[in-house]
Structure 1
Amino acid sequence: MDADVWNEHVARGYDESSTHMYEATVLDPAVDFLARRAGRGPALEFAIGTGRVALPLSRRGIAVAGLEKSEPMARELRKKPGAEEIAVTIGDMAETRAPGEFSLVYVVYNAITCLLSQDKQVACFRNAARHLEPGGRFVIECFIPELQRLPPGETARPFHVGEHHLGFDTFDLANQRLVSHHYRIVDGKADTFLSPHRFVWPSELDLMAKLAGMALSERWADWKETPFTSSSTSHVSVWRKPLEDSSSD
């Protein structure tokens, strides 16, 4: 993730700008899902941010650690109650190694797309596999780009229009890139935030997992385990690292 994007200004306002993601109907199913897959833990969150998911997961009694490239985002996490229980390593989720071995590694809220090349995304899968114990799980929550809704020649599509916020994505289809544009009115003043992404299809992620020595074990449309179909606009996918070969003992 680009530190120039996730800077001090963005970090300070991140939780307020993402209040809908903290609603119980959104957050609780995610934490429930991850807690079941973590088992006894520990769990590692790539791109832990300000701890939206890590903190409630930690409160379930699961030891949680995190990787975060943005120092400002990590500082916002450290201000929160319970953050002292979470060890955060500063670094890129594609290459940085956190101490320990984990039953679960997870990436939520489309963060895999913040890695802007296929090579980086493949490296993220390999890094996840390095952190996992045998039989451990790697979970990703990610959107599926609604390219079918783009008329020929059109490159922009709104995703939210509200009284104080306008959001739209601009697409570069040839390079699997998009830029999310956020325009907010705060105290009568306009605030702008642009974040670049490399969108990626579930089948491409499955190949990345295979390259990292993992295999798909589950795919759902959301954290509530709604069946995944061709019309799903998001997915929650789980890949597993194989158990050690007993014949080598």
Structure 2
Amino acid sequence: MTDEDGYFGESVAATYDESSAEEFQPEVVGTVVDFLAGLAGDGRALELGIGTGRVALPLARRGVPVHGIDLSRAMVDRLRAKPGGDTIGVTIGDFATTKVEGTFSVACLVFNTIMNLTTQDAQVDCFRNVAAHLEPGGRFVIEVMVPELRKLPAGQTVVPFHVSPTRWAFDDYDVATQQVSSNYVEVVDGHGRYRSIPFRYVWPAELDLMARLAGLRLCERWEGWTRDPFTSESGGHVSVWEKPAA
């Protein structure tokens, strides 16, 4: 199973780094890598949705052995083409169920990627899959948004998040099913292009229950990678669950 013709196929992979340029800034990546390297210690890291290597490559340069899982061969091809990319092991597959050899001291799922699993069952399976790969005392780290439902007045389902003369982007929520789609309209050379990607948003407390089902327990939750406190006003969170020591 691959994503060659799906939501992260060649057309998306070709411009992914540029379209997410803010996330590739050294100061942004540096805080992520500092956080993960501290948890990894002398162990290995498993990155789910490794993509083009935004996190994996600098983490590997810090001396942390990294293995990745990703459904998109096109994204992984971009990783492979970068310096050091050919030294990182990657398994092509669905990170909710794909198994790899060995155990890891830390596993991570960053930049809202847990929401690419569009059912609750798949998200639960992801936690169970990670738990099976963690060594005793290992940690699972997720970075994800807090659903922006407070921005929705009664009867409205759409939250815009980018508006410019040539690009419009908005999220469309279904609060009954926790389904949300990110929708993009772009004008290129005078022609309009539309793209929509489905997600399933998930609440912090729901993630904690998924972790408990997998035998993990919450040990940290922050607003972001710099460990600012998570509050009712936070727009996202970085959460860490631990596998009990043997």
**Shorter-chain TM band:** over 0.9
What SS does structure 2 have at the residue aligned with 1:100? coil
Is 2:203 the counterpart of 1:208?
no
Once residues 113 and 5 of structure 1 are traced to their aligned partners in structure 2, the CA distance between those partners, rounded to angstroms, is 13
Superposition TM-score, scaled by structure 1 size: 0.94
Equivalent position of 1:96 in the other structure? 98
Is 2:16 the counterpart of 1:22?
no
The one-letter amino acid of 1:92's match is D
C-alpha displacement at 1:48, in angstroms? 0.5
Q: How does 1:146-165 map to 2 (within 5 A)?
A: 146-165=148-167
What are the ranges of 5 or more consecutive residues in structure 2 without an aligned counterpart? Answer: none
Once residues 112 and 177 of structure 1 are traced to their aligned partners in structure 2, the CA distance between those partners, rounded to angstroms, is 13
Two-structure CA RMSD over aligned residues (Å): 1.5
C-alpha displacement at 1:186, in angstroms? 4.2
What SS does structure 2 have at the residue aligned with 1:231? coil
- The structure 1 residue matched to 2:179, chosen from 171, 177, 180, is 177
Task: Check the 8 A contact 2:185/2:193 in 1, yes or no.
Answer: yes
Once residues 186 and 62 of structure 1 are traced to their aligned partners in structure 2, the CA distance between those partners, rounded to angstroms, is 41
CA displacement, residues 177-215 of structure 1 (integer Å, 9 cap, x when unaligned):
100012334455444332110000000000000000000
C-alpha displacement at 1:163, in angstroms? 4.4
What are the ranges of 5 or more consecutive residues in structure 1 without an aligned counterpart? Answer: 245-249
- What is the percentage of aligned positions where both structures have the same residue? 53
Q: How does 1:101-120 map to 2 (within 5 A)?
A: 101-120=103-122
Superposition TM-score, scaled by structure 2 size: 0.95
Once residues 229 and 46 of structure 1 are traced to their aligned partners in structure 2, the CA distance between those partners, rounded to angstroms, is 27
Is 2:70 the counterpart of 1:65?
no
Once residues 31 and 109 of structure 1 are traced to their aligned partners in structure 2, the CA distance between those partners, rounded to angstroms, is 13
Question: Which stretch of the first structure deviates more once superposed, 158-167 or 55-64?
Answer: 158-167
The one-letter amino acid of 2:107's match is V
Once residues 233 and 224 of structure 2 are traced to their aligned partners in structure 1, the CA distance between those partners, rounded to angstroms, is 13
Once residues 20 and 6 of structure 1 are traced to their aligned partners in structure 2, the CA distance between those partners, rounded to angstroms, is 19
Once residues 191 and 53 of structure 1 are traced to their aligned partners in structure 2, the CA distance between those partners, rounded to angstroms, is 30
C-alpha displacement at 1:105, in angstroms? 0.4
The number of residue pairs the alignment matches comes to 244
Equivalent position of 2:47 in the other structure? 45
- The structure 1 residue matched to 2:80, chosen from 64, 70, 78, is 78
